[in-house]
A and B are shown apart, each in its own frame.
Chain A
Amino acid sequence: MTDAVPLSWVLGLSGALFCIGLFAALARRNLVGVLMGVELMLNAAIINMVAFWRYLEPRFITGQNFAIFIIAVAAAEAAVGLAMIIAIYRNWQTVKADEVDSLKG
């Protein structure tokens, strides 16, 4: 596997995925869409972890351990984020990021 696909391909893939996620998180008006972009960025980070583990240190599991930690944090973040979106929807009747602007001067 490691000699068929060089490490830089996997890193390039995860970089592209990260940038798509970044664009979605910045450009989307829908708050759920923003959260989806954040999930994509986290996934790109996990791909990096796993790729470095597999190519550089396959005998030590550290990379996968931290990948699991990231997945757990992402799950917690998704749960709390979506709960906040539902709370926002209840108060403003909208989930558009630029319409929730009560604090604007």
Chain B
Amino acid sequence: MTIVIQIIFALIAMLILGSALMMVLAKNVIHSALWLIASFFGVGALYLLLQAEFLAVVQVLVYVGAISILILFAIMLTRAADLAGETGRQWNNRWWLSLAVAGLLFGALIVPTVIGETWNVAPTEVAGAAAGQATGIAGAAELGRGFVYEYLLQFQVIGVLLLVALIGAIVIAYDETARRRRVLTLAEELELKKRQEAREAKEAKQSRKGKGEKPLPAPVPTDTLSKGNEGNEGNEGLVVR
């Protein structure tokens, strides 16, 4: 059993790290977003291996189902920069400095700490875990209890934070100039057209009165328009004859 779990862990680790690396290396932004989704998925699988079922499902629901969709939408809404014909990695000029920082952090700080430290690991498998049922391990019910007893204040603060983020995101991304007119119903469109016709007829009458000899403007375009309406929408009851 041990070797099977180790193989599964190695596969998951390869999935997480490999797709995270591909996310950095990919030249196309959409591709790197897709690699990021694969990496999120691998993290969810790791939670499952760590027997945090609820968290694994939440990871898939929030990261794969919501945040990555948000990222894909943002990429597609800002695509003109992408279409400008840029090739290459899209890293900035001092990417080697970033590489040095990240590499040093990993090589000089994290690896020695992780190797050098001895952790006070809980004794063994919790009793009753033999049948594949992790009875001694806290599950979703305990998680909920934690939210409403111990961490009630934090829970409420998170709720307020999410509300604020929701409103803030709408306010920031809302474009005043892009606000469009509401889609009109057929009757309203007809009403608008009717008023316009009446206005035009009035103007024509006035101009005829003023100049006397000018003929009436040909009513052909409005006529064909209303005919088209009749044929398409079957809205004869409302058409003025």
Q: Which A residues contact B (CB, under 8 angstroms)?
A: 1-5, 7-13, 15-24, 26-30, 32-33, 35-37, 39-40, 43, 46-47, 50-51, 53-62, 64-65, 67-69, 71-80, 82-87, 89-90, 93-98
Contacts and interface: CB of A to CB of B under 8 A. Distances in A.
B122 interface: yes
Contacts, number: 253
A50 B54 CA distance: 11
Given A4-B9, A13-B46, A61-B145, 5 more contacts: A17-B20, A22-B105, A28-B24, A56-B122, A73-B158
Interface in B53-98: 54-55, 58-59, 62-63, 66-67, 70-71, 73-75, 77-78, 80-81, 90-92, 95, 97-98
Contacts of A73: 158, 161
Instruction: Classify the secondary structure of B's interface with A.
Output: helix
B17 A17 contact: yes
Interface in B139-163: 142-143, 145-147, 150-151, 154, 158, 161-162
B165 A68 contact: no
Interface in B12-63: 13, 16-17, 20-21, 23-24, 29, 32-33, 36, 39-40, 43, 46-47, 49-52, 54-55, 58-59, 62-63
